[in-house]
Structure 1
Amino acid sequence: MTPTPGWYRDPSAPHLERWWDGTAWTEHRRAPEAPAPAAPTPPVPGPPVYGSQPTVPLTPGRPSPGGDSGKGPKVVALVAAGAILLTAIVTGVIVLGEDDGGGQVETAPTLATSQPVDREPASDTPSPAESSSEPPADGPAVVTDQLNGFTLPLLDGWVRPRTFTEADVLMTTDGTYDCPADFGYCRHGRVSSRTATADDGNSPEAIAKADIKEAADAAYDRDLIGRRPFGGIEAHKVLGSGPVTVAGRAGWFVRWRVTTAKGSGGYVQSLVFPSSIGTGSPVVVRYVFDAGEDGPPLADMDRLTKGIRSTH
């Protein structure tokens, strides 16, 4: 079972709480508040204590008709065994690690021992949406960003990530391949999101223009552990930049075509628009598509952008 989105104890920093979005850890952390005192647990009935008053009369005499004289002790033993079975608790553990490779792994919240805190997140963090990340039974499949309050359509060939070390990944193309340069496994497409900060800029245009280089470097120059899966970026070309309406809000996008030393290179886009929840902080959505026959259609970038919907 996958834990519901909420605040849980951070497995990499137990003194903090970290936001779990339903599929992966995000970078949002906070200091935990003192929990309310737990209600006393009622005692669980157990087997009788020898030396106390027996629950079955030990009067000598003949057994009752239709039964054996040892029936009483058998009933007591069965009741005790049932009480022990009822007290067993099954917990589920989800391991989050680097997809198809080595690297550090993180453990998802354990449902039996790490219930989410029943209170609102800190005021400087947008409140998560209450809607489920699962699509409606009679509607198209979607992926929900609970923290930033929007959904994306899950197009053909795309899947929700199950294990991934990079934070805030919303979806990837299905399957992996050997990276063309450095050792490791690569994917033909990836979509991620994050909440912009005051250091990113003061408008969607400024944030998108500043983010695109960082997005390209992270995708095609060096990865999180310093490898160069494509041998580095040799050149880039601006394919588009301008205003765009996202879920009824004014945003901005910048799209690059990236040429790499190894492989066919790819396309990177930074899309920025105001969130519909909390303080309306800007949201940055990054698209990374490999170029070439194996990469996803470039038109999927526009389909994904047009399909973004607010959860409120």
Structure 2
Amino acid sequence: MTPPPGWYRDPSAPHMERWWDGTAWTEHRRAPEAPAPAVPTPPVPGPPAYEPHATVPLTAGRPSAGGASGRGPRIVALAAAGAVLLTAIVTGALVLGKDDGGTELDTAPTLATSAPVDREPASDTPTPTESASEPPADGPAVVTDQLNGITLPLLSGWVRPRNITEADVLMTTDGTYQCPADFGYCRHGEVSSRTASGDDGSSPEAIAKADIQEAADDAYDRDLVGRRPFGGIESHKVVGSGPVSVAGRAGYFVRWQVRTAEGPGGYVQSLAFPSGIGTGSPVVVRYVFDAGEDGPPLADMDRFTKGIRSTAD
């Protein structure tokens, strides 16, 4: 909304009037005109901001023919109020027409809006991100064995079981490869767990020593249907055994290195320790790692063992 051409209060010199050509201020200035005779004039309809500045005497003039009705003084009072309103609007234009450094800005006369604009108050609550997703139930860095009440860390290079028929498998290395005996697909690493039975023994040491032979056969000798993906086990040797603390409980481990007819063979470990839930039945965790440069680092066995936690703790 641009005011029409006319004389308005000069934004840079409020005591002077300046010509507004309808689009910009000109260099024409003048002193305010002398007060007009106190002849009451009905106010012109429309926003007062569009009218050129006019000086209205604030002293009461001679009453008009209205006489005792008092209409003349009322009109003078309304005209005076309009002049005050216009002066406030132009003064606001003068204040807003300067930047913080006091430099004059070439702004048009300010026009008042008919109604204030309603704006919602700013909220102190941050907007939640839409991309937030729920983490896995057992956390992004652990694998949980709910039956035996333990969790194991999910180390780099290991994944949760995919396309695995054995129910006890907790995790495997990522990807598969052609088994050395030229049939089926094998994985370079596997971690599984089970509850020890009464026939396995009563102490973690007895349980681990009884389990290691079966663990080696299941991993490198024959599979579930009697095939030999590695050509069978040719020999083995004990490369580690002894007591170990597992989740604050006394456990025992036995580790074998096995040599197979096909491929580089591998390492098998049986780890036994009491469960932290229920009656504390012993738990057996098995590690199967291929040997050779493609197998997982042997140190991951110790990392898994140190990272085991009880779900009851």
Aligned partners of 1:180 and 1:229 also within 8 Å: yes
Look at both structures and tell me which one has the larger radius of gyration over its CA atoms. Answer: 2
The residue aligned with 1:247 is 247
The residue aligned with 1:134 is 137
The residue aligned with 2:305 is 305
1:135 Cα deviation from its structure 2 partner:
4.1
For residues 171 and 157 of structure 1, do their structure 2 counterparts lie closer, same or farther at Cα, with a shift above 3 Å needed? same
Gaps of 5+ in 2: 1-134
User: Counterparts in 2 of 1:52-67, with a 5 A limit?
Assistant: none
The residue aligned with 1:237 is 237
User: Counterparts in 2 of 1:64-75, with a 5 A limit?
Assistant: none
The residue aligned with 1:225 is 225
**Aligned counterparts of 1:299 and 1:160: Cα–Cα separation in 2:** 19
- 1:86-105, CA deviations, whole angstroms, 9 ceiling, x for partnerless residues? xxxxxxxxxxxxxxxxxxxx
- 1:139-160, CA deviations, whole angstroms, 9 ceiling, x for partnerless residues? x600000010110000000000
The residue aligned with 2:270 is 270
1:167 Cα deviation from its structure 2 partner:
2.1
Percent of paired sites with the same residue: 84
Aligned partners of 1:182 and 1:231 also within 8 Å: no
Aligned partners of 1:269 and 1:288 also within 8 Å: yes
SS at match of 1:217: helix
**Aligned counterparts of 1:239 and 1:214: Cα–Cα separation in 2:** 17
Gaps of 5+ in 1: 1-131
User: Counterparts in 2 of 1:1-312, with a 5 A limit?
Assistant: 134-136=137-139, 141-312=141-312
The residue aligned with 1:70 is none
SS at match of 1:283: strand
SS at match of 2:263: coil
SS at match of 1:238: strand
After the TM superposition, list the runs of 4 or more consecutive aligned residues in structure 1 that deviate by more than 6 angstroms.
Answer: none
For residues 133 and 222 of structure 1, do their structure 2 counterparts lie closer, same or farther at Cα, with a shift above 3 Å needed? farther
Select the structure that is richer in helix. 2
**Aligned counterparts of 1:311 and 1:218: Cα–Cα separation in 2:** 28
Q: Which amino acid aligns with 1:245?
A: S
Measured on the aligned residues, the alpha-carbon RMSD in Å equals 1.3
Q: Give me the TM-score of the superposition, normalised by structure 1.
A: 0.56
